[in-house]
Amino acid sequence: MYNKLRSTGVQPVRLYGLAKVHKQGTPLRPVLSLPGSSYDNLNKTLAKYFDEIEEANIETNTQMAREILEKTELDSDESIISLDVKSLYTNVPLKEAVEIALKRLYEQVNPPETSRKTRKKLLNLAVSKVHFKCNG
């Protein structure tokens, strides 16, 4: 695992903003650019494990999402909602999210070969205390 996650010759994570031109005052949406950073291999490795968990696969292609939703039948006590990125990511309780992710990951038929404790450390590293560069 060390060799899989080890990074060499990496650049720092970059923080920049994308203008939300459709909103009044043109606020910026913060973006952390991770490709080529020390977090890149870690995130790619973790993503592979979560590909097998249905709840972790969020469709971002509008056309495909529409087709999936058109085929989805809801029970009378179910609803579909849409969340703006602003209200979604900045309010996710990270500790709870990591615990839920671990629970789903280790409940599957073929859980990862690494211990839950190790995977928890890796998840926490990937989602919190990310060192980044902004304006030098």
Each residue's pLDDT tens digit, 95-104: 898 898 888 8
Q: Would the pTM count as exceeding 0.75?
A: no
* pLDDT, averaged across the chain: 82
- Does residue 21 sit within a domain? yes
Residue 77 has pLDDT above 90, yes or no: yes
| 69: in domain | no
88: pLDDT strictly greater than 60: no
Separation CA 124–CA 98 (nearest Å): 7
Bridge partners, residue 17, by sequence: 30
* Residue 72 counted as domain residue: no
Report if residue 58 sits inside a domain: no
pLDDT, tens only, 23-70: 889 888 888 888 888 888 888 888 888 877 777 776 677 788 788 888
Number of compact structural domains in the chain: 1
Phi, psi dihedral angles at 116 (to 5 degrees): -60, -40
| Domain assignment present for 62 | no
Domain that holds residue 43: 2-53+81-130
Structure token digits, residue 100: 């839920």
SS3 28: strand
| Cα separation, 133 vs 12, whole angstroms | 6
Q: Is residue 7 part of a domain?
A: yes
Does 110 score more than 80 pLDDT? no
CA distances 98 to 32, 74, 101, 123, Å, are: 19, 28, 5, 7
How open is the CA angle 71-89-94, to the nearest 5 degrees?
110
